[in-house]
Amino acid sequence: MLKFNGTSVFGGIAIGSLCIFQKKENKVERRQIEDAAQEVQRFEKAKETGISQLKELYDKALKDVGEAEAMIFEVHQMMMDDGDYVDSICNMITEEHVNAEYAVSQVRNRFAAMFEAMDDDYMRGRAADIRDISQRLIEILSGTQQAMDMFQEPVVIVAQDLAPSETVQFEKDKLLAIVTREGSANSHTAILARTMDIPALIQTDIELKPEYNGKKVIVDGFTGTVYVDPDAETLKVMEEKLAKCQEEKQLLQQLKGKEDVTADGRKIKLYANIGNPKDVESVLQNDARGIGLFRSEFLYLESSNFPTEEEQFQAYKTVAEKMEGKKVIIRTLDIGADKTVDYFGLEQEENPAMGYRAIRICLTQPEIFKTQLRALYRASAYGEIAIMFPMITSVEEVREIKGIVEEVKEELEKQEIPFKEVELGIMIETPAAAMVSDDLAKEVDFFSIGTNDLTQYTLAIDRQNAKLGHFYQPHHKAILRMIEMVVKNAHAAGIWAGICGELGADLELTETFVKMGVDELSVSPSMVLKVRKNIREAKAES
């Protein structure tokens, strides 16, 4: 048995197979090959594998998410088998005697550039698809396709580090736990683990040895320990711990259906945070009374190109309908910093967390913003949607946003597309917004405090930087005073204020927040019942 230690960012016990996650290598080497005919055959075989994988993905998506989302895999199958594309690759292998991976990468560049130069928006969008199918072929050819696909059973992923765009690609029903060698407690990957309700460890001293793949592994998310090839005694102790954990979860179930009201009668809105329409299942299972933060950028992270208005509309409508009239607060695109995707073409920045991100992208590229706003307003007709805007620093930004919102509404009216009036709120996640929250409160319907970013900007601590972990003090007085001030300013203007950052689920602070007058707490679905227990035991007046 091997034992490794890390820092836990979410508790729980997982027992399963270990799967090493290797980062995708984008650099393809050019090699001279002797036998071109054999290389063409190797390519043809990879193509067959690729097409059958895409068929499987199509069937799975059709079952899980419906025809509209599954379509893309059918399109990819056709593209991978397209005569021009395939001939160009085979000709290059035959004429230049180069390896198939290299030929695919060169043809990919040529075809993607050709699509990108077209006038038609739809055709331009195909450039990303060409990249996507070519990447699949290169990975099959070079044997670097993710190991997770090799396992039928659920796995524990062990990685150097994981970007949110990588984490969202994992099949959730096959993921038991996440263990990384790097990582920070406030990263979006940690947040995703909490949403999925699986143990997660960061800063773990486990090596990424390929021979660990497929070995039995136990992750103890309470102590931050990983056991590879556990001995019988450890396995028995851990199985008992797992059973106890499940029992405790079971006990919490008794709080389902109970009101979110303090011992002295103050009602609190207890909502949940999600990143994907599929997360609604766990919101409902855990009996949250609404969704306080739908991180819409995850729709963009999961896609290989800008999600269209229709795709977004379907996603928002699905969530609104499934929540059956309960509040669904959707945050507009918060891309940038650690959440990046290639197709946005974002440049490398010195300080991405303080850079071109979130509302700054939306205000400088209003066509992206308007597409999302149109989808949101269209979906408003199907439930109780509210919209909130991230990374606000000034009243001027809010006024500019409201101007764009009005334009979108006028357009929809002209086109006779039905929509409802929705609450418009902002995230308070910069010290600037907190300091001018008295003025901001006069402009919007609600505030939602994003303590993850508010903490990083107030304490000048990069939330992604693992070395700063022990300087990251979420209970710092500066943060708590700001929260109190923001709530006071909200109430003075007659609007409500909640917390949707991770601090909202900090069980040590539930009573403090209630006493401050916080109206709403929005937490990971897995934390809802624990927070409910604390709310019901807390006193609002001391």
Report the residue from 312, 451, 510, 524 that binds ligand PEP according to the rule CB under 6 A. Answer: 451
Q: Is 452 in the site for ligand PEP (CB under 6 A)?
A: yes
Among 12, 183, 450, 474, binds ligand PEP (CB under 6 A): 450
Catalytic residue among 19, 90, 362, 500: 500
Residues 6+ apart with CB under 8 A from 535: 260, 261, 262, 268, 270, 510, 514, 521
Counting contacts by CB under 6 A, is residue 164 touching ligand PEP? no
Give me the least distance between CB of 456 and Mg ion, in Å please. Answer: 9
- Which one of 129, 279, 384, 453 is in contact with ligand PEP (CB under 6 A)? 453
- 500 lies in the binding site for ligand PEP (CB under 6 A): yes
Distance CA 519, CA 496 (A): 6
Q: Is residue 221 a contact point for ligand PEP (CB under 6 A)?
A: no
The DSSP secondary structure of 259-285, one letter per residue, reads: --B-TTS-B-EEEEEESSGGGHHHHHH
Min. distance of Cβ 296 from Mg ion in angstroms? 13
Q: Among Mg ion, ligand PEP, none, what does residue 504 contact (CB within 5–8 Å per kind)?
A: none
97 is catalytic: no
Type and span of the H or E element at 9: strand 7-10
Q: Dihedral (C-alpha) 536, 482, 425, 433: value to the nearest 10 degrees?
A: -170
CA distance 189 to 166: 9
Residues in the chain, total: 542
Q: Which CB atom, from 314 or from 452, has the smaller least distance to ligand PEP? A: 452
Kindly write out the interface string for residues 290-329 of this chain, putting x where it contacts ligand PEP by CB under 6 A and - elsewhere: ---x-x----------------------------------
Terminal CA-to-CA distance of the chain, rounded, Å? 52
Task: Read off the tokens for 84.
Answer: 């021009």
Largest CA distance in the chain: 82
| Phi, psi dihedrals of residue 449, rounded to the nearest 5° | -85, 120
362 is annotated as an active-site residue: no
Name the residue nearer to ligand PEP (CB basis): 106 or 451.
451
Give kind and range of the element (H or E) at residue 218: strand 216-220
| Minimum CB–partner distance for residue 528 and Mg ion (Å) | 20
Residue 500 interacts, among Mg ion, ligand PEP, none and using kind-specific CB cut-offs from 5 to 8 Å, with ligand PEP
Is residue 334 a contact residue for ligand PEP (CB under 6 A)? yes
Q: How far is the CB of 162 from Mg ion (least distance, A)?
A: 18
> What is the number of the residue whose Cβ is closest to Mg ion?
453
Residue 220 interacts with which of ligand PEP, Mg ion, none, CB < 5 to 8 Å by class: none
| Listed ranges 2-10, 57-65, 85-93, 451-459: which one lies at the site for ligand PEP (CB under 6 A) | 451-459
Write down the least CB distance from residue 187 to Mg ion, Å: 12
Residue 483: strand, helix, or coil:
helix
DSSP E strands, 112-188: 155-159, 175-180
Q: What share of the chain is helix, strand, coil (3-state, %, to 5)?
A: 50, 15, 30
Q: What is the residue type of 138?
A: I
Min. distance of Cβ 453 from ligand PEP in angstroms? Answer: 3
Supply φ then ψ for residue 433, to 5 degrees: -65, -40
- Using CB under 5 A as the criterion, which residues of the chain lie in contact with Mg ion when the complex forms? 429, 450, 453
Long-range contacts of 61-68 (CB under 8 A, 24+ apart): 64/278, 65/277, 65/278, 66/314, 68/310, 68/311, 68/314
Q: Point out which span in 32-40, 71-79, 447-455, 511-519 binds ligand PEP (CB under 6 A).
A: 447-455
Site string for ligand PEP, 391-430 (x = CB under 6 A): --------------------------------------x-
In the complex with Mg ion, which residue's Cβ is closer, 105 or 455?
A: 455
3-state per-residue secondary structure call for 427-461: EECCHHHHHCHHHHCCCCCEEEECHHHHHHHHCCC
67-80 helix and 121-142 helix, angle to the nearest 10 degrees = 70
Q: Which is nearer to ligand PEP, 90 or 315 (CB)?
A: 315
Which residue in 19, 90, 188, 362 is the catalytic one? 188
Minimum CB–partner distance for residue 450 and ligand PEP (Å): 3
Residue 288 partner contact from Mg ion, ligand PEP, none using kind-dependent CB cut-offs of 5 to 8 Å: none
- Asked whether 424 and 412 are in contact (CB, 8 A), the reply is no
Least CB distance to ligand PEP at residue 263 (A): 28
Residues found near ligand PEP in the complex (CB under 6 A): 293, 295, 334, 429, 450-453, 500-501
* Residues catalogued as catalytic: 188, 500
